[in-house]
Each structure stands twice: as C-alpha cells, then as structure tokens.
Amino acid sequence: MSETLSSPYLCAPVGSWPRPPELVRAVRERRRGRLDPDSFRRLADDAVRAAVAAQEAAGLDVITDGEQRRDNFLAFVAEKLEGVTMMTVAELLPYLEDKAAFEEVLGTLDVPAFSLTNPVAVGPVRRRQSLAGDEVEFLRHITDRPIKVALPGPYLLTRAMWVESLSQPTYRDREALAEDVIRVLREEIAELQAKGVAIVQLDEPIFTEVVFTQRHAHRTFMCGALTQRLEAEAELTWAVEVVNRTAAGLTGGASWLAVHICRGNWSTREELLLRGDWSPLIPHLKRLEVDQLVLECATDRAGSWEILGQLPQRLGIGVVNPRTAAVEDPEAIANRVRALTQFVPPERIALNPDCGFGTFAERPMNDLQVATAKLRAMTAARDRLAAGL
Ligand SMILES: [Zn+2]
C-alpha cells in the first residue's frame, strides 16, 4: 500500500461524491426521524457501491465512499459523538452573537438555512462509536483499492461546535473544548490507520476564511465559522497548534495523514467564494506537521502555483474544479503540473479535484456525468505525466 501511495501524480478524490436523489431524500427523512436505520443503510450501501464504481472506472489510485452516509462533511459527527447535537443553521440563529449580520449574509448567498446542519457541543464530548469505522468496514467488502477517509479537522470542529450559550455550561472556553476534540480525533485516526486506511484527511476549510474574509473586509458565510470574527495571525497560530497536537506521532507511517484546505464549496457561483492566492497562508502551512496538504489550486481564485514550492509536505494539487460545468483539458492540466515540477519534485505531487463534489447532501456541485468526466480528465493528465517520467 505504501508503494502505491509513493507513486508520483497519485490520483485521489477529496472526499464527497454527488448523492442520488433518493438518498438525498433519505438523508432528510432520517434527520427528521422518519426513516429507520436499516432502510437508510440499504439505500446508502447502494449509493456507496455506485460512487466506488465511478471512481474505479475513472482510474483513481485511491478511493473514498463518497461520504454518501453523511449529512455533510462536518455535521455527521453529531450522530457518532456524545455531548454533541446536530442543529440546522435556522435553529442556531437565535444563539448567535451577531444574528442580523448573519441573516443578511445567508440571504445574499442563497444559503438554505433550514437544510444546512452544524454540530454543537452541549455536553462532555466523547466518542460513542467510531466516526468512520462503519464506512471503512463496508468499503473493505466492495473494493481492493487503497481507501481514503476525510474527517473534520480539529480547528474546524472546535470552531463549529463552540456556541457559547450552549457549550459554556460544560466547557469554560473553546480552548477547553479543543482538548476533547483533539483526543477524540487522535483516537479515531489511530483506529483508521490500524484498519489499513491509506490516507486520513483532516478537513480545515476555514483556514482560508480566517485570512480572506478579513483581507477583504466583508463577511462571508462558511459552515463552521458562524459567529466569531477573529484576528487572523493569532487565530491561525492557534489553528496550526491544534492540528499539530492532533497529528503528533500519527504521521510518517504506512498511512498518510493529510490536511485539506479549500475556500468553501457551498455555491457554484465563483464570485461568492473566497478569493486570494496562497501567499498569506504559506508561513502557517509550512508549520503543519502532517504528511500531505490537499489544496485548492484549479480555480483562478487560488492564484499562481509557484509559491507552493515553499511547502515541505507532499502536495495534493487541485487540478479540476468541482463547481464548474466545463471539463478541464488533460493536456492543459499536465502542462500546468509539468511547470510545477520546477519547484516541487514529481514524487511529492499528487492530483485531486479542488474539493468534494457533494460536500452538502442537499447541494451537489455537479451532476454525475460532469463529475465523472472531471475525474477522467485528472487521470488522463496523470497518465500523460507518468509517461514522461
Ligand atoms: Zn474542500
């Protein structure tokens, strides 16, 4: 397995895959308590089989279960953790410090507050069951390919779950909550690695929210960054610290521990999403003690790739944009990656889409046909690059 992982231009998904309409309905019904667990599992199993078949047919080196069982990439933990409840953004509004401004943002961005869900800490946080163990067990039965699992990262999870008026009866502040989040994630990562999972990825999309929202002096919406506006440097220093404490001793083995950073995936309207190149984040990313960084690079909003040469980790380069209808040209992808090899050696380059194709169950970024064609463009670029080695 580690041999597969070390091959240059390894192709992996970020995590999520569009869910079939009947599964989207089932996710909604389950949330309302109107669908029994067995019926949901049967539907989800079928959806996972289809997601895996699509990834295998596209020639990916590593596959995920498409996060088909999850309400979204973040909120699903509420079902697996004690002391955490899932709330829709609409239910959360009365508890937020700056409600009026937040409602205005929701209106502008056309975010469905009734359907987006968020986990909230309302008691001592511990694992009731493994966060992704059931997903891995099922994947083991249906595929021989190396498996990747994405989990919400410790900074995202702490910031999302900390809602002062609901969390403070248990935790004195969010730093105290972070202690339990780190412990829970460390238990989970060790367990997934012991099960032979090839890549465990911590999703930390709001690293960019911290930087780019402030730079442009207007607020934006990102699930998991509901209330606070914080001073960027101090905040990112703390964010890196909680990731490094989560990762300590869990890197460098047969599995990769990765961190994924993007700029939000709630809309297909690029002008609404966070804009800015990677330069303000580079000093912080350099200090992340993980094996791989999975970065959004395909969209023009992410700027030039040259600066990524300053990063010491293996780089998962986003080469297709999950939010656009046009399918990228494999030769153009290969040319851009060849140019990057002036700054990063091929064995440290992996290829992936910019983000998942179905981060939120209710909001797939693309239909199956386009999503599949984009994966194929990525693997065709890999084959061209590998032929030149
Ligand atoms: Zn992402």
What does the DSSP 8-state code read for residue 329?
P
364 and 357 Cβ atoms separated by less than 8 Å: yes
Q: Is 348 helix (H, G, I), strand (E, B) or coil?
A: helix
Look at residue 314 in the predicted model and tell me its pLDDT: 97
Sequence letter at residue 324:
T
Ligand 1 mean position to 50 CA, how many Å? 22
Give the span between the Cα atoms of 208 and 278, in whole angstroms.
9
Q: How far is CA 216 from CA 213, 220, 270, in A?
A: 6, 10, 16
Give the span between the Cα atoms of 86 and 71, in whole angstroms.
10
Ligand 1 mean position to 263 CA, how many Å? 7
40 and 30 Cβ atoms separated by less than 8 Å: yes
Average pLDDT of span 312-327: 96
Ligand 1 mean position to 140 CA, how many Å? 25
Q: With 90 as the cut, is the pLDDT of residue 132 above it?
A: yes
Band (101; pLDDT cuts 50, 70, 90): low
Look at residue 226 in the predicted model and tell me its pLDDT: 44
Give the span between the Cα atoms of 101 and 99, in whole angstroms.
6
Ligand 1 mean position to 205 CA, how many Å? 6
Q: For 236-282, how does the pLDDT look when each residue is reduced to its tens digit (9 = 90+)?
A: 999 999 999 999 999 998 999 999 998 877 677 777 677 778 898 99
Band (363; pLDDT cuts 50, 70, 90): confident
What does the DSSP 8-state code read for residue 324?
-
Give me the residue label for tokens 């992340």. 288
Express as a percent the part of the chain with pLDDT over 90. Answer: 70
- Say which residue, 217 or 110, is predicted with more confidence: 110
Starting at the edge strand found earlier in the chain, the sheet holding 10-11 runs 10-11, 349-353, 314-320, 292-295, 256-261, 199-203, 148-152
What does the DSSP 8-state code read for residue 147?
B
108 and 237 Cβ atoms separated by less than 8 Å: no
Topology adopted by domain 2-387: TIM Barrel (3.20.20)
Ligand 1 mean position to 170 CA, how many Å? 30
- Say which residue, 213 or 314, is predicted with more confidence: 314
> Which residues contact residue 44 at a Cβ distance below 8 angstroms, ignoring those fewer than 6 apart?
23, 26, 68, 69
Strands 117-127 and 81-88, by their bridges, are: antiparallel
Give the domain ranges of the chain.
Answer: 2-387
Ligand 1 mean position to 169 CA, how many Å? 32
- Say which residue, 11 or 213, is predicted with more confidence: 11
Ligand 1 mean position to 223 CA, how many Å? 12
Ligand 1 mean position to 80 CA, how many Å? 22
Strand partners for 126: 82
Give me the residue label for tokens 């508890």. 95
Q: For 49-75, how does the pLDDT look when each residue is reduced to its tens digit (9 = 90+)?
A: 999 999 999 999 999 999 999 988 888
The burial of 201, by beta-carbon neighbours within 10 Å (0-12 exposed, 13-18 middle, 19 or more buried), is given as buried
Ligand 1 mean position to 250 CA, how many Å? 22
Ligand 1 mean position to 34 CA, how many Å? 30
